[in-house]
Structure 1
Amino acid sequence: MALPCESERRWSRAIKMIFCLFFLIPMSSAGNRNTNTIFGKKQKLEVQQQLKRLNKPALKSIKSPDGDIIDCIDIYKQPAFDHPLLKNHTIQMRPSSYPKGFSANSKPKFSQPWHLNGRCPKGTIPIRRTKEEDLLRAGSAANYGRKNHIQNTIDENVHQHATLTEDGDRYYGMMAEMNVWNPHTQERDEFSVSQFWMIAGRNGVDLNSIEAGTMVSQSLYGDKNTRLFTFWTADAYTNTGCFNLGCPGFVQVSHQIAMGATLSPLSVYNGPQYTVNFYVRRDIHGDGNWWLTIADRFDLGYWPSSLFPLLSDTAEAVKWGGEVINLNKDGQHTTTQMGSGHFAEEGPNKACFFKNLNVIDGKKLLRAPSHTHTFIPKPNCYNLLDYGDYFYFGGPGRNPNCP
């Protein structure tokens, strides 16, 4: 049996311990939050240097209703010219020639919300301003605009596709029209894209690829809006290439369209359908650059052929379709949607489509696809129905047949 004075001492010590814990626990939690969310001095400096590199001095800035800031940058001071191979590059303002019956610079069919509050003047290009929180989501300043380690894996359980491929020839370009949707994404590091690829080399070894389309990516943009994007890689997504203008490479000439900016209007299930046209071709009579024309004959810019060891000549394959990231959280397939979120068999006004498909083949002739095959590894999750020069594709992801 404890003596009264000893009992009082024990109570006193217990009260002091409770008092200390009461104050120490919040302080410890705050310390953890600081460790997890605030960069150290070195990382902070890296972020500021990267922001300075990405955000060139603007001649004009426009606040978009969706929260983006669009900076109008002198066309000769755009990020492309930070690339060592492009230090003395002369901008090619337009392709050296156009196919018969093709006219450039007609009015785009779609709009971007920032257009409501202003336009960039000629002699500039619009660039979505990169914010500090964009770099924080990327995990490091160096990773911004690139595919993260999850998205960079070649595991088909993670990367899930529904695509149509034309190969067996040499390719100098392609054309396609795609309707635009806003698919749901489940996890922050998952994305949903509808796009084309022009490819040379082998995946995972020496793949060269130029790509463009529409995407929803919360990890890249911080929201779930549907946005226009471009991408390129010269080494199978390992060390080169990035989305949009997140690294030097793509040379933009348009002062009207901002890559990475939100698109509108969007297609409505069983309602109005809105499309974007893509046309990419190698300027064989000029510098050999790969030009991207978008939104009905509107020259956006080009990938210099000097960026690529293999695509400096021709592509070996052309691919169209959708891709999602499936993180398989809690052992369940993701609910991230592809396309409209509905299967291909639902058809017109309900499923996502590519139509008016054409390739520029080894004879430099524009023709419909002829040597095609589909890639649909998870047909119960996402599928594709091919009808020759058009196809429907997409799906909801997790469902009773895709657990």
Structure 2
Amino acid sequence: MSTTIKITLVLNLLHLLFVAALVRSDQNTLPLRSFKISENAKYDCVDIFKQPGLNHPLLQNHTIQIAGVRSRAGPFHGVEAWYDGYALNVGRYQISYSQIFIGSRLNNQNNFIQAGYIINPGFFRTGQLWTYAFWKGKDGKGCYNTAFDGFIQVSRKFPIVQPIDLKPGVPDWSRWSIHQKLVAYSISNGPNEDIGYWSKELFNLIDNGATTVGVGGAVQASGSGESPPMGNGNFPVGGRLDSALVTNIEVLDSNYNNRKMNSFPTEIMVYSPKCYGVRLVR
């Protein structure tokens, strides 16, 4: 029996203390690389530790809240799901994410890959919804998108990061998958499109499979402690389409077979139930 997951966004299990590429970087920050998405959209990639927004005092004590589901019954070789991204009212010093992820943790080390949607006005200089991906590998190295070497772009149609034009209340539906360090992305009802991949040499804990997979959402509060909305901002208490929706969640198991996520033991994660929620619909 398949499981549909309705949440006020989708989950991030791991550390979301970094942020992505900038649209027009600070004049005092030298871009590592610049990309032109369209005639009206260009972004610069900068060192994630040197982004000008990180100097703002409101970001010194930011907090992160999570809602979603995960399974720790690995090893896993991938995860995929359909979910929706919405235009949200996210403040300049707030962030709202939705993504799928795979990862492993051993002692104080983490390896993980996550991909999905992000709204980050303080760094993208726009309140638009963007696609993104992030990886963390051996020696603690990792980054967003193509800011540093590591991610190999192969698609000529879809960049790993791009703005999504949305009308309020009308979501962008997409299917995301991470298959053994290969990200495949397709728009709603469209054919799969491999965006690119990370080489196995970058990782030491997930090169033979990850111990955890999941889907979910996370928000980063401003320094004042005020958190932005997840998903479409509604609690999952009404009909199927009243709140954000994650569906057709499948996991690539230890034998590289696709299986429904509810074939494995799953764990619901809600850090702040007064603000966010998760509802499983079978």
Deviation at 1:62, TM superposition (A): 6.3
Cα distance 1:375–1:351, how it changes in 2: closer, same or farther (>3 A)? same
Distance 1:179 1:252 in 2: 24
- Matched residue, 1:339: 231
Equivalent residues in 2 for 1:3-402 (5 A)? 44=28, 47-48=29-30, 51=31, 53-55=32-34, 63-65=38-40, 68-69=41-42, 129-130=43-44, 141=47, 143-144=49-50, 158-186=63-91, 188-202=92-106, 205-234=108-137, 239-265=140-166, 269=169, 273-282=171-180, 290-295=181-186, 296-327=191-222, 329=224, 333-369=225-261, 370-388=264-282
Distance 2:151 2:141 in 1: 12
Q: Deviations over 1:101-147 (max 9, x none)?
A: xxxxxxxxxxxxxxxxxxxxxxxxxxxx31xxx75xxxxx5625799
Deviation at 1:364, TM superposition (A): 2.1
Q: Deviations over 1:37-75 (max 9, x none)?
A: x98xxxx5xx44xx2x4138xxxx66434xx22xxxxxx
Distance 2:54 2:141 in 1: 13
Deviation at 1:228, TM superposition (A): 0.5
- Matched residue, 1:120: none
Contact 1:176 1:356 in 2 (8 A): yes
TM-score scaled by length of structure 2: 0.78
Q: Deviations over 1:195-244 (max 9, x none)?
A: 11101115x82111101000100122111100000111125xx9521211
- SS in structure 1 opposite 2:229? coil
More strand by share: 2
- SS in structure 1 opposite 2:144? coil
Contact 1:228 1:261 in 2 (8 A): yes
Q: How many residues align?
A: 248
Task: Indicate the RMSD between aligned Cα atoms, in angstroms.
Answer: 2.9
Contact 1:145 1:243 in 2 (8 A): no
More helix by share: 1
Q: Deviations over 1:170-210 (max 9, x none)?
A: 10111100012112212x232000111101115x8211110
Distance 1:311 1:146 in 2: 32
Contact 1:358 1:367 in 2 (8 A): yes
Distance 1:252 1:164 in 2: 29
Distance 2:195 2:73 in 1: 29
Aligned AA (2:115): A
Distance 1:62 1:158 in 2: 31
Distance 2:100 2:39 in 1: 28
Aligned AA (2:159): A
Q: Deviations over 1:356-399 (max 9, x none)?
A: 001011132211112101011211101111225xxxxxxxxxxx
- SS in structure 1 opposite 2:72? strand
Contact 1:184 1:336 in 2 (8 A): yes
Distance 2:280 2:256 in 1: 25
TM-score scaled by length of structure 1: 0.56
Contact 2:48 2:143 in 1 (8 A): no
Contact 1:214 1:228 in 2 (8 A): yes
Deviation at 1:328, TM superposition (A): 5.2
Distance 2:178 2:48 in 1: 29
Contact 1:145 1:247 in 2 (8 A): no
Deviation at 1:264, TM superposition (A): 3.5
